[in-house]
Each structure stands twice: as C-alpha cells, then as structure tokens.
Amino acid sequence: MGWEGWPIERMLILFVSLTFCLIGIQVTMSHYRQNFHHKAMWVPVLAAPLFFVFGLILVCFHVAWLHVFFQILMWVGALAGLVGFYFHVRGVGKRVGGYQSHNFLIGPPVIMPLMITAMSLLGIIALYWRA
C-alpha cells in the first residue's frame, strides 16, 4: 500500500499537516498570552505539533499503522476543536457584558477551535478519499 506519485489524498494530508503547524503557532502564542490559565489550553498547543509531525511522516511513509494512527489523531482533533469551541464561547460569556458583540471581538476567538475541527475532518476525508 504505497504512494504512487502525488495523488490528491497525499497532497491533502500534506496541506492538513502544514496547516496544523501554522495553527499550532497561533494557538501557542494566544494561549501563552493568557498564561495558560486553564489546563485545557495545553491540548491544542501539544496536539498541533503531533498532527503536523505524524502527517508529514504519513506523507513520506504510507504504511498501514501510520494511516490508523493519523486517523485516530484526526478524530481526537475534531473532538478537541468542538470542546475548545465550547470553552471559547463560555469564555466570551464570562467577560463583562456577557455575550455582547463587542466581547466576541475582544474575547477568545470562537472560530479558531472550529478551524481545528475543520482541518481534522479534512484530514479524515483525505484518508478515506477514493479517486
């Protein structure tokens, strides 16, 4: 079960991996700015580099166990993004004034965890892609 050239699923896994590298940098800076005041803030900071590294390894070495492991990582990422969305929405509500539009602008970015979910789901789609 090897790669033959650069099929679309291989390019998508590479794209997903590189995107997790960039998301990981942004999440680390944002959560560092907030002094990691909640333990859950460490999840995307630690998970994004894993997604990046194992995605790149899968692009280079297409073996069955890496395929399964990357699939598990992507499901974890999809779930973690949804949990992060909950925490971010709750964080907006804790600000003075609650769920006013101003707090959505200056509070935790509610869309960012959904980006982790979306990229994880794209990784899952790439794994199941059949041309």
pTM for this one? 0.91
126 pLDDT exceeds 60?
yes
pLDDT digits (tens, 9 = 90+) for 31-80: 999 999 999 999 999 999 999 999 999 999 989 999 999 999 999 999 99
| For residues 72-101, average pLDDT | 96
Higher pLDDT: 85 or 4? It is 85
83 pLDDT exceeds 90?
yes
Confidence of residue 131 (pLDDT cuts 50, 70, 90): low
Q: Give CA–CA dist 88/119, Å, rounded.
A: 18
Q: Are 126 and 12 in contact (CB under 8 A)?
A: yes
pLDDT at 38: 92
Sorted by sequence, the CB contacts under 8 Å of residue 115 that are 6+ apart come out as: 23, 81
Confidence of residue 20 (pLDDT cuts 50, 70, 90): very high
For all residues of the chain together, what is the average pLDDT? Answer: 93
